[in-house]
Each structure stands twice: as structure tokens, then as C-alpha cells.
Structure 1
Amino acid sequence: MGVDGKPAGCRGVPNRRGETAEMVRSAKVWLSWVVQQLKPETETSMSLRVTSAAIAVATMAAMLTPATAQPHQAISADDAVRSFAPHIETFIATLDTETDRLDIRINRCTGQRGELSDLMFYVWVGWRGAADNAAEVLEQAVDAWASQDWKITRHRQLDNGGVNIAATDPVTGNSYSLDSGFAAGPNTLIVGFFSTQCFEHSHGAAPFGSFAWPG
């Protein structure tokens, strides 16, 4: 039995405000690292870009969360990561890019009624890659998603030549988002965020925070 009286393994419906706040925290940490590798014009303008980009990515990802509770077998963070990571590795391998950084985290989901729970979690992956033609790489990615009947939730061409795309895998419910719209590298830098749906941890409190990439 879960902490909210529902059978163990029942997916919660993430509270959008709480879920978005958690995604903003993860996205801001990652985007801050990304832009530190670049050469910002000013500290103030960079801070604004980081905050705006993080909120945009997190809001987009939060929109992909399930609208109703769905039964799902309780799972450990280890098993969730081992299940999710190969999908991300396989997807990244299809992109004409070189990986600069790949991190994984266990983030908190809120419960069925918006309550916080140490048992509810989702797996989040942040990725940074370099490309000779980032816009073309992302256009090819969104075409591939469409050919597989994925739900395209965002496809935007930016004024600076960058591209911002997002989609949901209809089989797993996992969400993918990619952005090449950074002012310092709109055609060479790609940042990706990948998330599972929410799970209930099968063995006590979930191990929130950074997580080792499965070997």
C-alpha cells in the first residue's frame, strides 16, 4: 500500500507547480554549467538567459506529465535508471554530435493530491553535445520522431538560427527536449533534457540527487 492509501506502484499525478519547480532547479544547475563553458556578454544578461531558458524547458517538460493516475509496478531507482539510460544512449547515438557531458539525477515527484513524498520520483538526464550543424541535427531528430508517431510538443525555429524541439514517446511516456538556441553557439551547441514519468520507489525513500550512470 502506498503512502496515500493507494496500491503500491500507482503513478501519482504530479502537482504541476511542484513538478515545475523541481525541473527548474535541475535545468538551472545544468544550464548554468553550460553557459559557464561559453563566453557570456555580461553576468546580468547571462543570468537572465539561464533563468528564462530553465523555466521554458521546465514548463515544457511539466506539460508532458500524465493527467491521470496509471497503475505501474513499483520500481527501484536503480532499475528505473537501467531501463531508461539505454533509451537515451540509443537516441543520442542517432545524432551527428559529440557528447561533452551526460548526467543523471533522481528527482522528486509530488503525490496524488499534491503532497510531497519521499517515495515518488522520476529519472532526469541532462546532456550537452557539440555539432557542426546543430539546427540540421535537430530537424532530423524531429522528423525521426514524427515518423515513429511520437507526439511532437514543440518545434520552434529561433531568430538566432537555433532550434527548440520536444516530444513524448507514446510507448514509454518518456519526454525528450533538445535546444540549440544559445546565443554563444546556436549552430554548434545542443543541450538535451530527458525525463521518465513518475514512479513509486519500491524500497523506502528514493535516493534523490545525482546518480551514477549505469556501467
Structure 2
Amino acid sequence: MSQPILRVKELSKSYFLNKKELKVLDCVSFSIEEGESIAITGPSGSGKSTLMGLCAGLDSPDSGEIILCGQDLAKMSEDQRAFLRLQQSSFIFQSFHLMPTLTALENVMVPLELQGQVNKSNKSRAIELLTQVGLQDRIKHFPNQLSGGEQQRVAIARAFINQPKILFADEPTGNLDSHTAETIQDLLFELNKQHSTSLVIVTHDLELAAKTQRTLKMNAGQITA
């Protein structure tokens, strides 16, 4: 039996505000299989985004265990975690995080630039991904020349350029109108099926959550269902 792509065991995290402890996560445990899509839902302040950040190795928990792509994050240095993220995982953020001075094509190729893997073959792959998300006529456009939906499509193409094993998406359709949001959702799941990429989606959108294979509901730092 294969190992889960992500395994979380008894994860806890607190922050201090005005010398008062604020417990954001309280003994959270779950696992995700390769190719599986899950949604993490819950009210604001329930710990959803904190949980995703910890799972991706962007922050460290107070206690508990995170095994991502077979690697124990607690036993890795920050540089090692950064390399793991670059090699094995990708992110889609609500605010897109595109580089304003780069074209759509150049933005998609940023992860390749960081690995020194820019070549003709990978450039063709980036163009293919932009074509898949309907931007074949926008590859030379800069972010300020693109609509919000088009910018999010660039972000999705960038997220898949390294063929990640797992993709973390934080409110990926939160800034989009309903028609564009539906298009982006379809693209996410289409690419998920094509590449067997595990999807972890933090969302308030119950319609989007319903399209995933499983939903984890959070409240007050705990998984309640």
C-alpha cells in the first residue's frame, strides 16, 4: 500500500497576542492520498490557512508531525523545505502573486528559472499550459494587461509547470466573478486529473468544496467532520 502524499498527526499551533495565548490549531490529524482532492472549510479564524501553511512547510508547528511527500518536515532545514516545495508542491493564492514586470509566459516559467531549467522543451510546456487555460493569445501580455480571471489562469499554469505531486490552493476563486470562478474550478480539476496531482483547497465556497472528493470541516482549530 502506498504512503499518503501528506500525513498530519496531532498538529498544534498557538500564537501570542498581547501576552495572551491564542490556540489556532488543536491536535489536528488527517492524511491525503496521491491524486486525491480535498477541501478544507470553516468560518474565518478556524485555522484553515494556518493549517495549509504548516502542511506546506511555510511555518513550523508547536507540536505534531507533518510528512509531506515522504519527508518529515520537522527534520528538515528551511532551505531543505524550500527545495521540497520547489520540487514537489505548488501554490495558488487568492491574490495571484504574479510578477508585474514579467509577461504571462515568463511568470509561468519562474519556478523553472529558480531551478535553472529554462530550455526550449520547458518553454514549449509553459506555452502548452497557457493554451490549456485559454491564454494562447495572451502569452506576451503583462499582468496589468490581463483581467483578474486571466491572471488567475496564469497562476494555475505556473502552479502546474513543475508537475507537482501536491497543490495547495488558498481561496483560489475568492476574487473572481461567478462565471470566471466556475471556469477556474473546472481548470483546476481537469489539470488535477491529467497530472494525478493531489489538491488541497482552502475555501469558503461550498459549491467548490462539493466538487472535491472529501471535505474537512474546521472550527476553533479542530477538524469537526
Task: Please state which band the TM-score falls in when normalised by the shorter chain.
Answer: under 0.3
- TM-score normalised to the size of structure 2? 0.26
- Determine which structure has greater relative contact order: mean sequence separation of CA pairs < 8 Å that are 6+ residues apart, divided by chain length: 2
The alignment's TM-score, normalised by the length of structure 1, stands at 0.27
